[in-house]
Structure 1
């Protein structure tokens, strides 16, 4: 049963991951620009949902690599299924995981975390976890998820006030959703996931400095590392629950 669950989660992640590159391309614009409505060759993109492939370009793809994004989403969903098992919160993780992948791709591409995505992650996480809390055999606590969202959001907001160049306000909004999913499994998972995010981001920045691709004051996309750290904390929290 566990193997079937993991395979099913991987198939779900792979299928949904195929649809991530199109919105990733559309969201990957500067903060003062409208959402992208054209492929790189200037042909219109009529909808938000669908493969990132332009018929007028002879089926040429655009945006981030579709196979790579689909594979990454499949692996994320499979890992969450392996750690969570058949508990009801797994449905929540599988629904919001593609949104986390989308946020990471957009931020890594243009260093932007769109409000429509970060606030959707926060709202969806709390609403869906409320449903999971009402189901039998769940392993988390909804109130702690709420407190986790508020605590991590407040903590990141303080960091933003101290150093706006190091912590963007988009990261503050992202923290609401990440705090909710980590807080579901308790304060230990929240602290672990947060520490892992800062660790991954710090190692990435240090690596860029070492290979002389960046200086000490170079801005880096922090969201992907916060999301990755939360993913690690969530896996450990789910496994230990």
Structure 2
């Protein structure tokens, strides 16, 4: 039942993702999009941020709602299956749709907005802190905070060494992902963090083989960081069960 509920929740959350993806796929110096591709104003709850990615006049916009909903549903169901009825599952289910949204935006415009990366880290820390208080085990919470600092520091070093390959958005995302991974300990943090770098490197290698002229192409690292962290969480949660 828990897995089914998580899947339904993920699907419902996924249906709301295409609209903010469309609105956020702009360059850093530009304002968020306020109109659909046809030029019609986007309205609705929360100043137009909530609702389906569909214009009454010209139809759907943004990424396909069904693939996004299916993907988010699968992610939430997998997290529920691995974690079980433990308090940290609430944090994973809150963070998962935001992570999917971040991956979609970064893939489209090579950008990880602060309005998503920073709340992701804060929400993860707050919910894990509440989970630690409910269970009476506070050490995993402090371990999670340490994981966020360590993974964020690692990406900060990478940014200082190669600012053209790593962005500050990646550094801020690493803090939130590190908080989640750190909850399960050092091994999960290392596996999840390394998996993101490895997946990004493999994608870059394949891209160079297929398109040799893509050497100077800016690659989105965020989606691979998120996939790596997702894999790390599944392994960490399964090992803790």
**Structure-1-length-normalised TM-score:** 0.95
Deviation at 1:215, TM superposition (A): 2.7
Q: Distance in 1 between matches of 2:167 and 2:5?
A: 36
Match of 1:54 in 2: 55
Match of 1:17 in 2: 14
Tell me, yes or no, if the aligned pair for 1:88 and 1:138 is still in contact at 8 Å. Answer: no
Unaligned runs of 5+ in 2: none
Classify the secondary structure of the residue corresponding to 2:214.
Answer: coil
* Structure (1/2) with the larger helix percentage: 2
Deviation at 1:56, TM superposition (A): 2.0
Distance 1:69 1:214, change over 3 A: farther
Match of 2:29 in 1: 32
The answer to whether the aligner puts 1:149 opposite 2:148 as a matched pair is yes
**Residues 94-109 of structure 1 aligned to structure 2 (within 5 Å):** 94-109=93-108
Classify the secondary structure of the residue corresponding to 2:52.
Answer: coil
The answer to whether the aligner puts 1:125 opposite 2:137 as a matched pair is no
Tell me, yes or no, if the aligned pair for 1:181 and 1:234 is still in contact at 8 Å. Answer: yes
Match of 2:202 in 1: 203
Match of 1:70 in 2: 69
Offset from partner CA, 1:211-239 (integer Å, 9 cap, x none): 11653332100000000000000110000
Match of 1:159 in 2: 158
Give the root-mean-square deviation of aligned CA atoms. 1.4
**Residues 199-238 of structure 1 aligned to structure 2 (within 5 Å):** 199-212=198-211, 214-238=213-237
Match of 1:45 in 2: 42
Deviation at 1:140, TM superposition (A): 7.3
